[in-house]
Structure 1
């Protein structure tokens, strides 16, 4: 029997054609239905809301010359649809503002053409009789000190030297001459290195922080006295309750509180006289905070002891030095009294680790970190410092950036925030020629290239040195010491 293969193929082809036609019909119906549904969907309402403009309040600063002062500020705008939009201000941030009150007008527009506008005032006051000739700077808990060209020391605020009455302007420390370095590191104790390598300390001494073999009451004031048996110091760091010094042979000695092994002698016994830190023989700098200490070694590495954060987020009590393997190429080191450590590297990078509340590591979070974190937007730094809950760096060219807590205006950008807000690094308003920066518990100060000093933040004890107890969110000039 013969089979008609052509007819069979034709029948098969017909079935396939019918299936294709059906698929095409379904596709056309689906497309038509989509168009119909889209036609029924109402269009998005037009954007009629302007951006939300955020401007600083009135900014006040002193003139730095007869022409006025350069003032920087932060103005931002956020749109509900477009997100962050640019802000235009006149005069712009970074402009030279004359003596007097200048109104700054700002505006921001979104892509739909909606515009928000606002104003704020910048007041530049007359130049003042400023402290001159400063060469070194440090900020204590609520006080500030500087070394001047003569080797004398001036302090202002509550330095616990001879009484508990703070000085609102700089006063000479009559017992000190020939000072070459000074440190208070947001504490109530201050120490200086003298030209011959000896040390003198004053202030709080309830754990033997003065290093002279004595212990005083918590609220006692103590004048400068020599530290026992140290005659060749090259660096000094004052922690909250203990002090450490680097000697000219690269060794380190510490004294004061030792409840967590922060003296590094293998014990937890307090000592009112210096004790050697075994195993550290090539230190070039040291940094002491509340419960730990780190030494910067000549090869750019760092070794630490005391209460050390571990990878589990807990703290280990390390009574003898242990190398921090995450740090190389370091050239300077500083500790904040709140538990933060920061180093400056040979490429101008800043790296911080430890406590991060509220944001002292500069990464925009409050998460503690055992590994070093680089503060956001900070590069080409030349010097660094850490306070109780904030940190600052001088940037190449002379500007200053600060980050962390800003409850009292200690970031210097014309604003304040709640204590728990982790603030990212921001430029300090009006500072363009800084050579050094120091941070206290809630205030900051910058040493300028003309050897004057400007401070900002908390001023309840006179730590800003401008003759008042008014806090300031922008830098004020430290007044001259009375003759």
Structure 2
């Protein structure tokens, strides 16, 4: 019952995103939008386990939910669900969290949406009554929301300035939380307790009607979780503790944690998942995970292959049926400089997920220049009409009917090999598909400031930067 929007681009917290090209103005191929790219770039907060229901966000930003729907918490507007199959609830989201009997999501538009149980005002819609379809949280106009966290009867959110807002437990409208020094980079809710970590590494916890109290032992916190009445923290070195006791990770550095009730689970930096009980007993989870969340009686995770699974105390994951699965990413991306252009090559993914292939899109980081190839075995193209000497960061997007993935970025600059014709500008030319064997060049590692700027705009809509500082 916690979640955060995660990304490795911590440097973006220091970058003025308003200087970046407007992502919405880019010439996207048919079937791709700026919202799709934001959703595909998020790796955390894409699965949620609540009281008796669970949800996930696909690589296209679609929210699917399954399990109990007694209060409308699945969000599809109906009350009949055969066989526990996942149902579509919302589009387009970048994060979802599940409470005891309600669900909330952060839309790609920066607004918060909730549905399900509203017995204590936890939906924040301004009107009383349960809802079986998503409704926008009111009272947050002018604030871009980057994270939501749901408890039993309340909900909290963090905006792009690092301020926390909470509603529920009798308050139907969001109220700004005061008494926390510094911008918040992570927030978690469980039961009637909420905890938050700040950019300075401090952690605070509070309950309904109480002021936030700083947790003395948490001095380098970057993530928080709530296990029953215990507060759990993950520090910048990947070490986690709950109630003041260190979790035995076997020497592994954790990348993220989640907790609920008497259980804590974490994923290390190699994708290995483990869970611990309140008495310190540790168990492993089969398969590598890129995100997980702990609910009242189970945990759910998204594997590196894109499958969503849930497991109970036995730690044996069971796949959730009826969910679309994204394609694998293009790998081995290489770029070679041309006169006024770049030659881009890659290895097509062996796993295309659950949907038929649609196209590759090799594009510059601002998505203003690129090439689209509709053959699943295509491995390269040339993008021309670029400026010699300018640095470009390039990635390859794989689009199928059911998903979208973005490769790692590589950097290169077109180089002039012959004088430009007198009086000519940099000529525009169409991209050229490479023939087999033409290949690319050597990959260039690292991201330029242009790429960081553009990726931030792509993922977070030009303003959602507060949470980026929590990664080491």
Q: TM-score range by the shorter chain?
A: 0.5 to 0.7
> Partners of 1:352 and 1:423 in 2: how far apart?
10
The separation in 2 between residues aligned to 1:440 and 1:229, in whole angstroms, is 28
d(CA) in 2 for partners of 1:190, 1:296: 22
**8 Å Cα contact 2:247/2:280 also seen in 1:** no
Contact persistence 2:284–2:315 (CA under 8 A): no
Query: How many Å separate the matches in 2 of 1:374 and 1:448?
Result: 26
Shift of 1:423: 5.8
Counterparts in 2 of 1:427-438, with a 5 A limit?
427-428=284-285, 430-431=286-287, 433-438=288-293
Deviations 1:216-237 (A, max 9, x none): 3xxx553211101224111111
1:184: which partner in 2?
Answer: 98
SS at match of 2:282: strand
**Of 168, 175, 194, which aligns to 1:293?**
194
Relative contact order (C-alpha < 8 Å, sep 6+): which is higher?
A: 2
1:134 deviation in Å? 9.8
145, 156, 171: which one pairs with 1:233?
Answer: 145
Counterpart CA distance in 2 for 1:404 and 1:193 is: 30
Q: CA contact under 8 A between 1:158 and 1:166: conserved in structure 2?
A: no
Equivalent pair of 2:97/2:150 in contact (CA under 8 Å): yes
Q: Retained in 2: the 8 A contact 1:158–1:164?
A: no
Residue in 2 that maps onto 1:344:
234
Give the Cα separation in 2 of the matches to 1:437 and 1:481.
Answer: 16
- Corresponding position of 2:173: 273
Q: Is the 8 A contact 1:293 1:305 kept in 2?
A: yes
Q: Report the equivalent of 1:121.
A: none
Structure 1 residue 331 corresponds to structure 2 residue 222: yes
Q: In the alignment, is the contact (CA less than 8 A) between 2:48 and 2:56 conserved in 1? A: yes
Out of 436, 443, 446, the residue aligned to residue 301 of structure 2 is 446
- Give the alignment partner of residue 213 of structure 1, picking from 118, 126, 129: 126
Against the structure 1 CA distance between its residues 143 and 166, is the aligned structure 2 distance closer, same or farther, given a 3 Å change threshold? farther
1:320 alignment partner, SS class? coil
Partner of 1:250: 162
CA drift of 1:457 comes to 2.0
2:93–2:106 CA contact under 8 A, matched in 1? yes
1:72-107 CA-to-partner distances (Å, cap 9, x unmatched) read xxxxxxxxxxxxxxxxxxxxxxxxxxxxxxxxxxxx
1:286 CA drift (Å): 1.3
Aligned counterparts of 1:438 and 1:271: Cα–Cα separation in 2: 27
Q: Check whether the contact 2:190–2:260 (CA below 8 A) recurs between aligned residues.
A: no
Deviation at 1:395, TM superposition (A): 2.1
What pairs with 1:110-125 in structure 2 (closer than 5 Å)? none
Post-superposition CA distance 1:277-323 (Å, at most 9, x none): 1233511121122122222111011122227xxxxxxxxxx721222
Larger deviation, residues 282-291 vs 376-385 = 376-385
Does 1:303 pair with 2:204? Answer: yes
| TM-score (normalizing by structure 1) | 0.53
Q: Is contact 2:42-2:94 (8 Å) kept?
A: no
Show the counterpart of 1:202: 115
- Residue in 1 aligned with 2:266? 393
How has the CA–CA distance of structure 1 residues 475 and 320 changed in structure 2, closer, same or farther, with 3 Å as cutoff? same
Q: Which segments of 5 or more consecutive residues in structure 2 lack a partner in the other structure? A: 1-39, 325-401, 403-472
- CA offset at residue 164 of structure 1? 4.9
In 1, the alpha carbon distance for the partners of 2:259 and 2:124 equals 24
Question: CA shift at 1:214, angstroms?
Answer: 2.5
3-state DSSP of counterpart to 2:261? coil
**Higher Cα Rg, which structure:** 1
Q: Distance in 1 between matches of 2:264 and 2:124?
A: 28
CA distance in structure 1 between the partners assigned to 2:158 and 2:315 by the alignment? 36
Q: Does 1:384 align with 2:300?
A: no
Provide the secondary structure at the position in 2 that maps to 1:474.
coil
3-state SS in 1 of match to 2:148: strand
Q: 1:381: Cα distance to partner?
A: 1.0
Separation in 1, partners of 2:101, 2:81: 12
Secondary structure of the 2:316 match is strand
> Cα–Cα, structure 1 residues 170 and 277, in superposed 2: closer, same or farther, change >3 Å?
same
Counterpart-to-counterpart distance in 1, 2:53 and 2:42: 16
Shift of 1:376: 2.8
Change (3 A) 1:196 1:133: closer
Of 158, 167, 170, which residue of structure 1 is paired with 2:86? 170
Contact 2:283–2:315 under 8 Å retained in 1: no
Equivalent pair of 1:152/1:172 in contact (CA under 8 Å): yes
Q: For the Cα contact (< 8 Å) 1:443–1:456, is it kept in 2?
A: yes
Residue 222 of structure 1: SS of its match in structure 2?
A: strand
Report the RMSD for the aligned CA atoms in angstroms.
Answer: 2.5
Q: Measure the CA separation in 1 of the matches of 2:315 and 2:222.
A: 31
